[in-house]
Amino acid sequence: MATIRQKQVSETIKRHFSIVLQQEGAYIYGSGPLVTVTAVQVTPDFSMANIYLSIFNTENKQEVILEMKNHYHRLKQALTHRLAKRVRRIPELQFFIDETLDEMSRVDRLFDRLEAENQMGQREEEE
């Protein structure tokens, strides 16, 4: 379970890294992909921050992550500049694709298809 301080630092990194991506994103991975920060988890010793990203408007999400890793120093430097007076020690960053929204969309499509094929049974009528 995360401590209050971990949650605070995670939220601060999430907010400021989102701004960094808005400013630096077009340079790093082009103007096509839309990248949003969905969550940040900081380790208990504050040495590592796992950043979860939703990536839209591109077929190859892994390529966007690879470009971010290639420009790691630039991203971390921009984040460090924004967090300098808020966080004592800037953690190392790791990037992960957050598939939650894609999975939700896939499940919704499955339910829609089942309903269209009338395989979900009859809907309950209001009494």
- pLDDT for position 84: 87
Sheet holding 48-56, edge to edge: 34-42, 48-56, 92-97
The helix (run of H) or strand (run of E) holding residue 52 is strand 48-56
User: Topology of 4-99 in CATH?
Assistant: GMP Synthetase; Chain A, domain 3 (3.30.300)
Phi-psi region of 119 (alpha: psi -120 to 50; beta: other; left: phi over 0): alpha
Averaged in consecutive runs of 10 residues, what is the pLDDT profile of the chain (127 residues)? 91 96 88 91 96 91 93 96 89 92 78 77 54
Taking Cα atoms as reference points, which of 53, 43, 52 lies closest to residue 9? 43
- pLDDT for position 78: 96
Domain boundaries of the chain, sorted by first residue: 4-99
